[in-house]
Amino acid sequence: MTSLVLRDQPGPADLAAVRRLTEASGVFSAVEVELAVELLQERLARGLKASGYHFLFAESGEGAVLGYACHGPAPLTQASWDLYWIAVAAADHGQGIGRRLLAATEQRAAASGAAAIYADTSGRPDYARTRAFYDRAGYLKAAELPDFYAPGEAKVIFAKRLI
């Protein structure tokens, strides 16, 4: 991907992009897709400061949204941030878009005072690529909570120190 633009100002048109990206992932449930859209709706309605949700969108040179990330300060912490969502269009996997989004997310979080960032994901077999993505990006598996999401489906928490 030679021409990739990152932007951090979401707009109403991004609601459809977030829905499309999360639906097309093949791993997010309908409830999870709705939650991803709701976080953006909250950001658009309440603003960055009140919502706490930061967004980054990766666009092609033509303006098509190819991926996005949502992150923000973890409630009740001094310097921990959560990576709530990161998704890249399935057709664009393997082009470094996710890595660019993740690196930019980490840089922006660190610039805002984050000492560490945490990413939760599923332990299901269809999330193996996601877990490998975090491993390759230097995240450490901090915890695994068995049967968290459902019987037989663990929650896997990855962490990365930023300072």
**Is 98 within the bounds of a domain?**
yes
Q: Based on the structure, what is the number of domains in the chain?
A: 1
Which domain CATH number covers 85? Answer: 3.40.630.30
Give the pLDDT confidence of 46-92 residue by residue, as tens digits. Answer: 999 999 999 999 999 888 999 999 999 999 999 999 999 999 988 88
> What pLDDT is attached to residue 2?
56
The reply to whether the predicted model has a pTM over 0.85 is yes
Determine the structural domain holding residue 51 and report its residue range.
Answer: 4-115
Per-block average pLDDT, block size 10, for the chain (163 residues)?
A: 86 97 90 97 98 97 93 97 94 93 98 97 95 98 98 98 95
**Is 133 within the bounds of a domain?**
no
**Is 129 within the bounds of a domain?**
no
**Is 75 within the bounds of a domain?**
yes
**Is 134 within the bounds of a domain?**
no
For residue 14, the surrounding DSSP H or E stretch is helix 14-24
> What are the strands of the beta sheet with 153-161, ordered from one edge?
4-7, 54-60, 65-73, 80-88, 116-122, 153-161, 140-150
